[in-house]
Amino acid sequence: MIQEIAELIRATAWVDTHEHLWDESTRLRLSAEGKFPSDFSAFFFGYPTSDLLSAGLPAECHQRLFSPVVDVATKWRDIEPYYKPTWHTGYMRNVRASIHALTGEDEIDGSNCGRISEALAKLLQPGHYRQVLRTISNIEYCQVASLEAHVFHETESPDLLCQDFHFDPLCLEKSFVPGDVMMDLAQAASREPSDLSAWYEIIEWHFARFAPRAIALKHASAYQRRLDYEPVSSEAAAPLFDRYRRDPSALSDEERKALHDHLFHFCVRQAVDYNLPIKMHTGYHAGVFGMPLRRVQHNLSDLCPVFQLHPDARFVLFHMGFPYQHEAMALAKHYPNVFIDLSWAWIISPSATGRFVKEFLVSAPATKLLCFGGDYWNLEGVPGHAVIARQGLARSLSELVQEAWIDNSEVSGMIRQLMRDNPYALFDYQGRSRNWSLATAIPQVS
């Protein structure tokens, strides 16, 4: 039975609800300029490196790993002692599944890392993204939280790489792009950020300009702060904005939080007006040696007052809030406006995610689960992740059939719902595509 279910899942195209992928031309340029590797180390970029570092990879080996001038034999010698104790993790299985999908090799070691590198370098040609995403990975389209612009990236491939709208910078919180965020955003809108009312207009300009072509809002400030966004009146926020504008360091931590809180709620109301779901990072942190678990453990409970304050907004909790996924499940069951997204989760903890899917489907509405996002900057991580998520989903559904919770006859409908219908119901792909085709010659805003 698991074979049949696995086959149905293999034949169904994913809607991928979370990536950070560069545009293809950016990726090809970075590799051509020697700024991003085109050898086997590309498969280790990002999450797999975190497991190597957690296993003790020295800093100098880490630096050499992505250098364009270090030979592949040295790179492999550097990482081999740390690959061995991690080869069984989700991250490393993802490395091998991606290598297999792109080069046909089943394993990686000192004997074939050169061959894998040559095969990858050959693939890096125009058309690479469509081949890897659509043909090899059977992904219909990706939703991308781009790291190439403060708020919204004018992608060259709007049908394949739908863009999220980052609103943290509009709340004067973090931006992925360096620069003076306040002045950059004000300049783009051709307005002076003279006071809070002017800042509202700047926010509204960005929504009017980009929200019709965005697939969702994205918020990643859980990396910086608690998610206890309290209601703060504009009367209280206005003098804080004035002082912040003159000197951002003039505000105390509490005052800065109050200003961010106020702007967050303003943006959530905009999201409702533009009918955009709000994706929020919750739970585990990327990287090593930085996650403040005491703060992270409050992410999900902190958000309850936000859900209550905005019943018309739709909130998507990312990464199932791992390792607090049971709280995430309780929220999706209880709040009509809360959805759960499994992006990244299948490789952080494949077994916990498989159990989560089973438990979710017997606890909460199946309409509220989004089952796949690779969460990678570089394309090499995505095909393997799509395979691992398919295998995990097949196992979870098979077990539910074996345990007589769902009937065999319901499986194909459930697969379609989890892999495609749910994201199509939550995100307006068609409306956004229409708006892209109407928008011509829109200048790049960074």
Contact set with Zn ion (CB under 5 A): 375
Residue 378 CB, shortest distance to Zn ion, in Å, is 13
CA distance 424 to 128: 25
**Cβ closest to Zn ion, residue 222 vs residue 276:** 222
Residue 319 CB, shortest distance to Zn ion, in Å, is 8
β-pairing, 161-166 vs 216-219, is parallel
Tokens representing residue 276 in the block: 């955009």
Residue 267 CB, shortest distance to Zn ion, in Å, is 19
Give the residue nearest to Zn ion (CB): 375
**Cβ closest to Zn ion, residue 261 vs residue 380:** 380
Tokens representing residue 141 in the block: 């389209």
Residue 321 CB, shortest distance to Zn ion, in Å, is 14
All residues at 6 or more sequence positions from 395 whose CB lies less than 8 Å from its CB, including other chains: 2, 354
Decide: helix, strand or coil at residue 317.
Answer: strand
Taking Cα atoms as reference points, which of 328, 386, 381 lies closest to residue 359?
A: 328
Residue 392 CB, shortest distance to Zn ion, in Å, is 19
Cβ(286)–Cβ(18) below 8 Å: no
Distance between first and last Cα of the chain = 51
Which residue type, as a one-letter code, is found at position 158?
A: P
**Cβ closest to Zn ion, residue 124 vs residue 286:** 286
Output phi, psi for 143, to 5 deg. -100, 125
H-type helices in 316-369, by residue range?
325-334, 345-348, 350-361
**Cβ closest to Zn ion, residue 216 vs residue 394:** 216
Q: How many residues does the chain have?
A: 446
Cβ(225)–Cβ(260) below 8 Å: yes
Tokens representing residue 8 in the block: 């149905």
**Cβ closest to Zn ion, residue 147 vs residue 251:** 147
Tokens representing residue 14 in the block: 């994913």
Residue 18 CB, shortest distance to Zn ion, in Å, is 6
**Cβ closest to Zn ion, residue 381 vs residue 383:** 381
Tokens representing residue 167 in the block: 């609103």
Cβ(256)–Cβ(189) below 8 Å: no
Phi-psi region of 190 (alpha: psi -120 to 50; beta: other; left: phi over 0): left
**Cβ closest to Zn ion, residue 176 vs residue 205:** 176
Tokens representing residue 106 in the block: 């089943």
- Exposed/middle/buried for 266, CB within 10 Å: 0-12, 13-18, 19+? buried
Residue 11 CB, shortest distance to Zn ion, in Å, is 27
Residue 375 CB, shortest distance to Zn ion, in Å, is 4
**Cβ closest to Zn ion, residue 108 vs residue 222:** 222
Residue 270 CB, shortest distance to Zn ion, in Å, is 22
**Cβ closest to Zn ion, residue 17 vs residue 117:** 17
